[in-house]
Amino acid sequence: MPRKLWTGSGHSGHNWNQKGFTLLELLAALAIVSLCAAVLWPNIQVHDRLKLETAARGLADDLRLIRQAAITGGEFCRIEFYRYSHYYELRLPGEKRNVYLPEGVDFGSVPSFKGDPPNVHFNTLGHPSGGGTVTLKTKKGDRLYVIVTPVTGRVRISKEPPQHW
């Protein structure tokens, strides 16, 4: 027996057993997916920026740590930078520790410290071997600069490169 079409108000002749999606349903689904992508995309970019800021704060903290260790321990302490391996090495009295940069964060340029590998060491008075800047960057091009001031050894983070560049 043939199937009878429902002929209620406004739906005359429509067969509700057809398979597939209407154009309106597809556009609605596309709109929902686009809205979700628009909401999530900035969070992905913020995540990369947070990794960069975390890496810069960690490096600045480690520079301050070795400065303080040199003062309190009465021995020279230093950090060596390994640009292509994406890590730096802390050399404290009786301890060596490697600190790897987070995924997506790299050294933006060879650190402007001297030596091979580039390094900065602090003497027992907390004075650095020289001033310098370490540039950290993301793949999207965001940059932060960790700057060690010559003579005083002050460590700071900046969004702008130092004036002497």
pTM over 0.75: no
User: Which tokens go with 146?
Assistant: 């960790």
How far is it, in rounded angstroms, from Cα 101 to Cα 112?
A: 18
Q: What is the pLDDT of residues 109-137, one digit of tens each?
A: 767 788 888 999 999 999 999 888 999 99
CATH number where 92 lies: 3.55.40.10
Q: What is the pLDDT of residues 17-28, one digit of tens each?
A: 667 778 888 888
Element (H, E) at 44: helix 23-73
Domain count, the chain: 1
In a domain, residue 69? The reply is yes
In a domain, residue 38? The reply is yes
How far is it, in rounded angstroms, from Cα 92 to Cα 95?
A: 5
- Is the CB of residue 155 less than 8 Å from the CB of residue 64? yes
Print the domain residue range for 54.
Answer: 28-158
In a domain, residue 164? The reply is no
C-alpha angle with apex 153: 148 to 159, nearest 5 degrees? Answer: 30
Q: What is the pLDDT of residues 41-89, one digit of tens each?
A: 666 656 788 999 999 999 999 999 999 999 999 999 999 999 889 999 9
User: Which tokens go with 13?
Assistant: 């002749």
In a domain, residue 141? The reply is yes
- Is the CB of residue 133 less than 8 Å from the CB of residue 161? yes
How far is it, in rounded angstroms, from Cα 131 to Cα 26?
A: 60
Alpha carbon distances (Å) from 57 to 44, 45, 65, 154: 20, 19, 12, 14
pLDDT band at 108 (very low <50, low <70, confident <90, very high): confident
